[in-house]
Copies of this chain bind each other. A is one copy, B any other.
Amino acid sequence: MHTALSPSMLHLYDADNTIVVIIDVLRATSTIATALYNGASYVIPVDSVARCIELGSMPDTVTAGERDGRIAEGLQHGNSPFEYSRAFIENKVLVLTTTNGTRLLYMALEKGAKNIITGSFPNLSAVTDHLIVQKQNVLLACAAWKDRVNIEDTLFAGAVIAGVKEHFDINCDASMMAHALYTEAKPDVYGFVKNKKASHYLRLSGYGLEKDIHYCFTPDIANILPVYKEGKLVAGTGSAACSKAGLAAS
């Protein structure tokens, strides 16, 4: 089990026969879990607003994405998980453009990763249960912020490690650091991030998005496993985690 704290270190790690967990806590992977948990047919992660608009012409499709804290021009919705209630998103396709998370997912694909899932606090147990059941190599890949390491993605990597470490050999300093940081933060992850003046916390709270941040640090509130398959993120099935998440979501 390894942790790449930034996309700039992704190339250092093996992606063959490895489950790559894409982590973009604020807010891409939290919102992806929420949309699928609430019954979205699937999520298409795209890397540009133009591509988002193009795919949005399909029926029952919602386009979403933000730039600088506002809905990007030409798109319908933003990146907040609160926009994707069951009443709104069930049986629809969400085409989502985000910067850091989507870019990292495409980097993992280019690197040849064949087994990609997404992780966030809202689906923490779905991720850890899946990893324990699958017993494969794991790469926790943090989306970071324009390649700069961030606290929240590192904390989520640490939370995953805390949940699975009895089942894995971990000889990776980045993983040990993430785990140590999470152990310190665990009693109040939101408070820890706020207290440390995490740069993305400051950015989002500056946009008035405290409620989003709280949600994105709430474990298992949308406990489903997003699995990447042929351009789409779909609700996973087949592992203990997925079954449990599927039941919870139904």
* A10 nearest in chain B by CB position: B8
Minimal beta-carbon separation of A8 from chain B (angstroms): 5
Q: With an 8 A cutoff between CB atoms, is A180 at the interface?
A: yes
Asked whether B196 lies within 8 Å of A176 as measured between CB atoms, the reply is yes
Given contacts A5-B5, A8-B8, contact A151 B177 (CB under 8 A): yes
Asked whether B174 lies within 8 Å of A148 as measured between CB atoms, the reply is yes
Q: With an 8 A cutoff between CB atoms, is A51 at the interface?
A: no
Task: State how many copies of this chain the complex holds.
Answer: 2
User: In residues 151-194 of chain A, which contact B (Cβ within 8 Å)?
Assistant: 151, 154, 171-174, 176-177, 180-181, 184
Once bound together, how far apart are the Cα atoms of A171 and B6, in whole Å? 17
Given contacts A177-B154, A177-B177, A181-B181, contact A149 B196 (CB under 8 A): no
Once bound together, how far apart are the Cα atoms of A200 and B147, in whole Å? 25
Once bound together, how far apart are the Cα atoms of A184 and B180, in whole Å? 9
Residue in B8, B150, B176, B177 whose beta carbon sits within 8 Å of that of A173 in the complex = B150
Minimal beta-carbon separation of A198 from chain B (angstroms): 6
Once bound together, how far apart are the Cα atoms of A177 and B3, in whole Å? 15
Asked whether A149 lies within 8 Å of B199 as measured between CB atoms, the reply is no
Q: With an 8 A cutoff between CB atoms, is A12 at the interface?
A: yes
Q: With an 8 A cutoff between CB atoms, is A50 at the interface?
A: no
Chain A interface bracket (under 10, 10 to 19, 20 to 34, 35 or more): 20 to 34
Given contacts A180-B184, A181-B180, A181-B181, contact A171 B151 (CB under 8 A): no
B residues in contact with A174, CB < 8 Å:
148-149
Point out which of A9, A146, A150, A200 has the most chain B C-beta atoms below 10 A from its C-beta: A9
B residues in contact with A8, CB < 8 Å:
6, 8-9, 12
B residues in contact with A202, CB < 8 Å:
171
Once bound together, how far apart are the Cα atoms of A205 and B35, in whole Å? 49
* A146 nearest in chain B by CB position: B12
Q: With an 8 A cutoff between CB atoms, is A197 at the interface?
A: yes
